[in-house]
Amino acid sequence: MVDQVRSMESRVGRKNQRYGSKGERLVAGVVPLSKDKSLVMMIQSAGRGGWVLPKGGWETDEASAQQAACREAWEEAGVICTVLRDLGTISDMRPSTMLTSNSPRASYQFFEVTVDREEDRWPEMHKRRRQWVTYTQAAAALASRPELLEALNRSSMKR
């Protein structure tokens, strides 16, 4: 397989963002697992500082949510990954009081992936750290993000 050229620029803004039939923002993400599935890679949230899974908007120039998810894994975590399986769609579980024009309701499409390579340099390395953690550590970190916890729980990560 030939490596695609990977940009060192992160995509910003929402002008190419895809939206669903109910106006929800379509978000693609990954649950990045070690080869033996005992660890998951988490990244620092750019906004809130906590630890999250790599995810972001599925854009109009991307043929599939899977393509968008792998791009997000590259931009946010600096990893090259292989998709193992589609974890399905997960609805946004935030109460309506937490929704804003900058953070509208979303629909999440997550994929279980294995990390093939961790690069030393990646687009968002200046604003995000990454770390490998156990299921217990990840579940605790995602307690306030039920849609991300649901993606983790749908994965085949070792508990």
pLDDT at position 59, please?
Answer: 95
The CATH code of the domain that includes 141 is 3.90.79.10
Residue 10 placed within a domain = no
How many residues does the structure list for the chain? 159
DSSP run (H or E) holding 68: helix 65-72
| Residue 20 falls inside a structural domain | no
Tell whether 122 is covered by a domain. yes
Residue with tokens 């990893």: 79
- Is 29 part of a structural domain of the chain? yes
What's the total number of domains in the chain? 1
**What is the per-residue pLDDT for 99?**
80
Q: Is residue 34 part of a domain?
A: yes
Per-residue pLDDT of the chain (159 residues; tens, 9 = 90+): 444 556 677 666 667 899 999 889 999 999 999 999 999 999 999 877 799 999 999 999 999 999 999 999 999 999 999 999 999 999 998 888 878 777 778 999 999 999 999 999 999 999 999 999 999 999 999 999 999 999 999 999 999
Range of the domain at 134: 25-154
Residue 78 belongs to some domain of the structure: yes
